[in-house]
């Protein structure tokens, strides 16, 4: 029986391709398991060294610090998540299709990459407060600006409730995110994939202008 391949490996291979980056990928994959098992704060460099089968020198050479390792892993996951979401969003023609694409992309990402998603939930605050916080804020601003520009088109804006634009991301993805958190923590058992269309419908009802 063939060995199971960690789905996170495909994300790391896209971010760090080639044979020369093999050690970096191995460190990131081991760190992912370590952080999810022990938590980010309790994980030490010695624990990472043992789990990743790498020297302390390797860890510092490639990532600079534990915070740098957390940030590198987080940004890998963030880029892959955005790429999957944007793939469907780019094909959306109508407002309703755009809303559904964002929800579908989020749900599909979490169910395909549960370990990376679990890590992202616990790492976001750590990255935001750490030395890479400015980079995270800049990435979020650029992505938010692009999404808001799409929704701000007159023919689309006319279909939205007259609520503050900054509420849109929470109203569209917030319900899916809340359920995915519960699923990843084991509080609910049914996969978010099974509720994919319901979550998209709930998001649509949250932002669509009521019929006159």
- Please tell me whether the overall predicted TM-score, pTM, comes out greater than 0.85 for this model: yes
- What is the model's pLDDT at position 1? 43
Place of tokens 């979490």: 110
Among 176, 210, 181, 177, smallest CA distance to 196 is for: 176
Q: What's the Cα-to-Cα distance from 172 to each of 8, 127, 188, 208, rounded to whole Å?
A: 26, 24, 21, 10
Kindly report the number of other CB atoms within 10 A of residue 160's CB atom: 17
Name the CATH superfamily, with its identifier, for domain 8-207.
Answer: Tetracycline Repressor, domain 2 (1.10.357.10)
Reduced to 3 states (helix: H, G, I; strand: E, B; else coil), residue 160 is strand
Domain ranges of the chain: 8-207
Consecutive sets of 10 residues in the chain, 212 residues long: mean pLDDT of each? 73 93 94 95 93 90 93 96 90 94 96 97 94 95 91 92 91 97 97 98 96 73
Within a 10 A sphere around the Cβ of 195, how many other Cβ atoms? 19
């Amino acid at each position: 029986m063939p060995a199971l391949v960690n789905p996170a490996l495909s994300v790391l291979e896209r971010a760090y391709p080639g044979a020369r980056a093999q050690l970096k990928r191995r460190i990131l994959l081991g760190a992912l398991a370590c952080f999810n098992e022990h938590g980010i704060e309790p994980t030490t460099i010695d624990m990472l060294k043992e789990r990743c089968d790498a020297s302390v020198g390797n860890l510092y050479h490639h990532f600079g610090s534990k915070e740098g390792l957390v940030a590198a892993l987080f940004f890998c996951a963030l880029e892959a998540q955005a790429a999957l979401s944007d793939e469907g969003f780019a094909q959306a023609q109508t407002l309703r299709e755009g809303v559904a694409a964002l929800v579908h992309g989020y749900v599909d990402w979490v169910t395909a990459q549960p370990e990376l998603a679990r890590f992202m939930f616990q790492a976001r605050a750590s990255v935001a407060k750490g030395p890479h916080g400015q980079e995270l804020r800049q990435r979020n601003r650029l992505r938010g600006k692009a999404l808001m520009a799409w929704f701000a088109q007159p023919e689309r804006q006319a279909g939205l409730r007259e609520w503050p634009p900054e509420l849109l991301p929470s109203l569209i993805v917030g319900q899916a995110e809340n359920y995915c958190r519960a699923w990843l923590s084991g509080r609910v058992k049914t996969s978010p994939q099974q509720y994919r269309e319901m979550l998209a419908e709930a998001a649509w009802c949250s932002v669509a202008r009521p019929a006159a």
